[in-house]
Structure 1
Amino acid sequence: MFVKSEKKVSGEVNYNKIPAHIRRRPYYIIAPGLIILIGILIPFVTAIFLSFTNYSFRLPKWGFVGLKNWINMFKSKEFYHAVWVTLKYGILATGVEMLLGTGVALLLRKDTRYSRILKVLFTFPLMVAPAIAVLIWQLMTSNTVGVLEKVLNIFGVYNFPWAASHSTAMFTAILIDAWVNTSFVILLVLAGIQSLPKSPFEAAAVDGAGGWFTFKTLTFPMLKPFMYIALLFRLMASLQEFGIIYALSKGGPGDTLMNISLSGYINGFTYQKLAGALPYLLVLWFIINKTAKFLVKRQRFLANQAAGR
């Protein structure tokens, strides 16, 4: 009986025989990520370090003060008011944009000539800088030449205060924010609608399912992962909103719109107390970080659920 001798094939790779430029490829891939990470970590660690000092643009010398800046912040009523304004603005602005954006996206889901024109028109506000958007709305809401003021006059409303009143300043800021950023939600939800499979909807139509039933049982559950992505981006941006509020009223009237971003800016650059401003911004980072982690975890769960995993 003859037994064939088989050569053993080794699974080991001799890296010395691999050309040097190929061995360096993993480092080329990792390098951009490391550069970005280092670029983020350096100012972040520096901010934490300086928050325990009395560093100021006015003083040539500075030293450690321990937890003094943090204690002063947590004792301040202005801090808790800023947190409240930040959360209120973020939740309301994001909620309005999600409702409007989802509703408009559902109306534009059919590919018609009019929907294609409207899709293009809805992208225009995204191209407008927040400060320019505020300037446009200030002209439209002017009590003398404003278009919106003339429309309100038809319904018997004169000299509407807009951003000049404590009761309407938040409404005005959210209105401008929604005008600029609702288009972002529309585009994301539309992309989600166009990626949905057609067979479940065709089967529902054959079975005679109504529009509301189809939306409730098919469209909305499958759209949730895309909506969470839009929610994540818009909520993170709304919580740290600065441009619209600063250009509109610099946090006024009074401290009506004084959120964490604006409070940190005023303490750091107007009062030139950078070390005292940094705890505000680090608290804002903590709020956004925890919110983003929760939404990302929820979005992954919904994506796996939609994929049947």
Structure 2
Amino acid sequence: MKAVAETGRALPSAERVNIPRTRRYRPYLILLPAFLLTAGILYPFGVAIYYSLTNFSFKYEKFSFVGLENWVDMFRDPGFWHSLWITAKYALLATGAEMVIGVGIALLLNRETRLARSLRIVLIFPLMIAPVIATLIWQLMINYSVGVIGHGLRWIGITDFTWAADPDTALFTVVLIDAWVYTPFVILLTLAGLRSLPKAPFESAMIDGGSAWFTFRNLTLPMILPFLLIALVFRLMVSLQEFSIIFALTSGGPGDTLMTLPLTAYTEGFTYKELGYALPHMLVLWLIVFIASRILIKYWSRAQGRASGVEEGTT
């Protein structure tokens, strides 16, 4: 400012600030990985949209643009609506079971005893196993002849439980395996939330004679809600896209009992070789995941504000 006052003119930018060239380009270098990651995501997404508007097939060398024909055929297909219903039902049942069981176990393990410390280590093991391997393990365990679960059911008099071989119990079987694999994820996040809670409010509630249910409903649950919503977002997104457990267990059967959107898209694209018709199924699934995650993240932001004592709309 002094130089401007004495000379009556502003100094050129090179005279005002002598910034090395490496420092001038540093912000762009920092943003470069994010740009490459964004491009790596958007390019395949754009290609998928383009091919969903064509009759591209692995059976033929040439393909042509058909507009919304694949989309119209998909919405007219009863199999699409069946797979959409199975996808939603599977995701809601699996995620709901994992959230309820995970929160319950986390509350039981939130204490410093030798048993609790041992169980916290043991319960992490299913997360270290690939879902396909976990499915093969469960196939052995529920086997009627040699499986430990099958033997246990026979011991209590149940000899005709058909597990994944029956349309009435196939969904229960895959949800059970999914819960076994992924419930530890919910347990870990819930335990992290419980360990981060301040002790003063709970000590005050104990002095005032508050019951365990009162403390959980009015103190524990509101404070750990952001952690629960994070777990819910991740688990719901993965459950909506679940492929490996169902494919490894029944390949979508018996019949079309477990034909979710990912399995339907896989069947259309790689069994029937009609990739142009398969892609709209995956794009619909992407839209469902996007909308669900946006809604849950919005609730997470509100819960985070309430847990930290900041009301929505304040700064």
TM-score (norm 1): 0.95
1:141 aligned partner: 142
Task: Give the SS at the match of 2:219.
Answer: helix
1:205 aligned partner: 206
- Residues 246-303 of structure 1 deviation map (CA, whole Å, 9 limit, x = unaligned): 0000000000000000000000001110000000000000000000000000000110
Q: 1:47 to 1:12 in 2, by over 3 A?
A: farther
Q: 1:13 to 1:156 in 2, by over 3 A?
A: farther
Answer yes or no: is 1:129 the counterpart of 2:124. Answer: no
Per the TM alignment, residue 114 of structure 1 is displaced from its structure 2 partner at its CA by: 1.6
Answer yes or no: is 1:263 the counterpart of 2:264. Answer: yes
Task: Give the SS at the match of 1:144.
Answer: coil
Q: 1:297 and 1:208 mapped to 2: Cα distance?
A: 35
Answer yes or no: is 1:215 the counterpart of 2:216. Answer: yes
Q: 1:239 to 1:20 in 2, by over 3 A?
A: same
Deviates more, 1:103-112 or 1:278-287: 103-112
Task: Give the SS at the match of 2:37.
Answer: helix
- Residues 16-40 of structure 1 deviation map (CA, whole Å, 9 limit, x = unaligned): 5111111122112211111110000
Deviates more, 1:233-242 or 1:195-204: 195-204
> Any gaps of 5 or more consecutive residues in structure 2?
311-315
Answer yes or no: is 1:233 the counterpart of 2:230. Answer: no
- Residues 25-73 of structure 1 deviation map (CA, whole Å, 9 limit, x = unaligned): 2112211111110000000000000001011111111110111101110
Residue identity matched to 2:59: R
Q: 1:283 and 1:114 mapped to 2: Cα distance?
A: 46
Per the TM alignment, residue 181 of structure 1 is displaced from its structure 2 partner at its CA by: 0.2
The answer on whether the counterparts of 1:143 and 1:159 sit within 8 Å (CA) in structure 2 is: no
Answer yes or no: is 1:301 the counterpart of 2:299. Answer: no
2:173 aligned partner: 172
Q: 1:297 and 1:215 mapped to 2: Cα distance?
A: 24
Answer yes or no: is 1:95 the counterpart of 2:96. Answer: yes
Residue identity matched to 2:207: V
Q: 2:37 and 2:262 mapped to 1: Cα distance?
A: 23
The answer on whether the counterparts of 1:55 and 1:273 sit within 8 Å (CA) in structure 2 is: yes
Q: 2:295 and 2:150 mapped to 1: Cα distance?
A: 42
Coordinate RMSD, CA, aligned: 1.7
Q: 1:8 and 1:108 mapped to 2: Cα distance?
A: 68
Residue identity matched to 2:258: L
- Residues 228-254 of structure 1 deviation map (CA, whole Å, 9 limit, x = unaligned): 000000000000100000000000000
Q: 1:227 and 1:306 mapped to 2: Cα distance?
A: 12
The answer on whether the counterparts of 1:94 and 1:231 sit within 8 Å (CA) in structure 2 is: yes
Q: 2:12 and 2:83 mapped to 1: Cα distance?
A: 60
Q: 1:174 and 1:106 mapped to 2: Cα distance?
A: 23
2:69 aligned partner: 68
The answer on whether the counterparts of 2:48 and 2:279 sit within 8 Å (CA) in structure 1 is: yes
Q: 1:173 and 1:120 mapped to 2: Cα distance?
A: 25
Task: Give the SS at the match of 2:53.
Answer: coil
> Any gaps of 5 or more consecutive residues in structure 1?
1-5
Q: 1:209 and 1:22 mapped to 2: Cα distance?
A: 59
Answer yes or no: is 1:82 the counterpart of 2:83. Answer: yes
The answer on whether the counterparts of 1:189 and 1:223 sit within 8 Å (CA) in structure 2 is: yes
Q: 1:28 to 1:112 in 2, by over 3 A?
A: farther
Q: 2:229 and 2:3 mapped to 1: Cα distance?
A: 53
Task: Give the SS at the match of 2:168.
Answer: coil
The answer on whether the counterparts of 2:3 and 2:11 sit within 8 Å (CA) in structure 1 is: no
What is the percentage of aligned positions where both structures have the same residue?
Answer: 52
Q: 2:40 and 2:182 mapped to 1: Cα distance?
A: 28
Per the TM alignment, residue 9 of structure 1 is displaced from its structure 2 partner at its CA by: 9.4
Per the TM alignment, residue 154 of structure 1 is displaced from its structure 2 partner at its CA by: 2.0
Runs of 4+ that moved beyond 4 A: 6-16
2:225 aligned partner: 224
TM-score (norm 2): 0.93
Q: 1:102 and 1:23 mapped to 2: Cα distance?
A: 50
Answer yes or no: is 1:47 the counterpart of 2:48. Answer: yes
1:246 aligned partner: 247
